[in-house]
Amino acid sequence: MIERLMENAAQFLLLLVLSPLVTGVIRTLKARLQTRRGPGILQPYRDLRKLFSKGIVIPETASWIFTATPWVVFFSTILAGLMIPMVAAEAPLGLFGGVLAVIYLLGLGRFFLALSGMDSGSSFGGLGSSREMTISALAEPAMMLAIFTVAIGAGSTGLTEIAGAAIGIAGAAIGQNWRFLAPSQMFAFAALSLVLIAETGRIPVDNPDTHLELTMIHEAMILEYSGPYLALLEWAASIKQLVLMTLLINCFWPFGLQPTWFGFGAVEGICWLLAKLLLLSCAIVLLETVNAKMRLFRVPEMLAVAFTLGSLALISTFLF
C-alpha cells in the first residue's frame, strides 16, 4: 500500500517537473535549428512562476464552468499521466480501464476546455472550441484503431501488459519475437504519430506559438484565461504532450522500462525515458521546421491518412 502511494507520488512529481522541460527543450531545439538563440530550456518554468503570481480576470458572462475548467483539465491530465508506464512497466494507477481510460480522461479535459471556450462569451473562444472538436472527432477513431492494434498484439488493453509484454515481465523474451517488427505495428505507429501531431497541437495542424485569429486552435480556447488559471492550463497542455509522447514511445519501444519503480532500476529507467523523449522531440522539431502550417481544411486529409493506416493496422493483425 505504502509502495503504491510512493510510486504514485514519484510519477506525479516526474510529470509535474518533466513536462515544462520537454516543452522547453522542443522550443530551444527548434530555435537552434532555425538559427535563433531561443529563450533557454528553463523558460516554461519561469513562465509558470510568473503566471502563478499574477491576478485573475474573469469575464462577466462566464459561469462556474469557466473557473472549474482549469482544475478539471489539470487533474484529468495528471490522472491520465499516472495510468501510463513511464519508468516502470507497471503503471502506478493501473487499477481500471487501461489505455481506454487514459484516452477518455484526456477526452474529458478536452470537453471541458471546449465548453469553457464557449462559456467565456468571446467569439474567438467558440471558434477555437469548434475547431478543436472537429479535429479531435477525426483524430479519435484513428487513435482508437491504432491503440486496439497494439492491444491485440499484447492480448490486453492494460498498458502494463502492453509495455510489459515486450520487456520480459511475463517471462517472455525481450521484444517478444520481434513483435514490434510486424507490419501491423508499423502501420499503427505511423497512424499514432500522425494523431500525436494533431492532438498535441504541433505545427502542421496547430501552431502553439501563435495568436493569429485565422490559425489558432488551442490558444483561441484559452484566450480569456489569465494568471494562475492560465498557468494551470498551460501546464496541463505540456503534461498532456508528455503523456502522449510517453504513450507512443512506451507502446512501441518499451526498451529500458523497469519492472518496478524501486531500487537502482528507477534511475536507469528515468535515463532511458529521457533519452527516448529527446529522440522523439528531435523528430518533432525536424517535422515542425520543414513543414508549414496546413490550412484548416487540409487537416481532415492528414487525419484520413491516419485513419486508413489505423484500419489497415487493425485488419492486418488478423490477416497475418
Partner 1 sequence: MLMMPVLDLQFGERIVTLMAALVLVLQIAMVSQRWIVLHIRIFAVQSLFLAMIAATIAWYNHAPHIYIAAVLTLVVKVILVPILFERLVTRMEIHEEIEPIVNVPLSVLIAGGLTLVGYVVAESFYRPDAPGVGHNALAVAISLFLIGFFTMINRRKALTQVLALLSLENGLFLAAISLTYGMPLIVELGILFDVLVAAMVLGILVYRIRETFESMDVSRLRRLRG
Site membership for partner 1, residue 57 (CB under 8 A): no
Nearer to partner 1 by C-beta: 61 or 177?
177
What is the rounded distance in angstroms from the CA atom of residue 308 to the CA atom of residue 49? 43
CA contacts within 13 A on the Cβ side of 2: 0
3-class SS letters over 208-271: CCCCCCCCCCHHHHCCCCCHHHHHHHHHHHHHHHHHHHHHHHHHHCCCCCECCCCCCHHHHHHH
Question: Does 87 help bind partner 1 (rule: CB under 8 A)?
Answer: no
Least spacing, CB of residue 298 vs partner 1, in Å:
8
Contacts of 206 (CB under 8 A, 6+ apart): 135, 198, 215, 216, 217, 218, 293
304 touches partner 1 (CB under 8 A): yes
CB of 55 to partner 1, least distance (A): 46
Please give the grid coordinates belonging to residue 257. 522500462
Three-state DSSP class for 308? helix
Q: Which of 26, 230, 245, 312 binds partner 1 (CB under 8 A)?
A: 312
Give the three cell numbers for residue 5. 502511494
Q: Which of 73, 166, 205, 309 binds partner 1 (CB under 8 A)?
A: 309
Total interface residues for partner 1 by CB under 8 A: 21
* Contact map string, positions 180 to 209, toward partner 1, x by CB under 8 A: -xxx--xx--x-------------------
The residues of the shown chain that bind partner 1, judged by CB under 8 A, are 178, 181-183, 186-187, 190, 300-302, 304-305, 307-309, 311-312, 315-316, 319-320
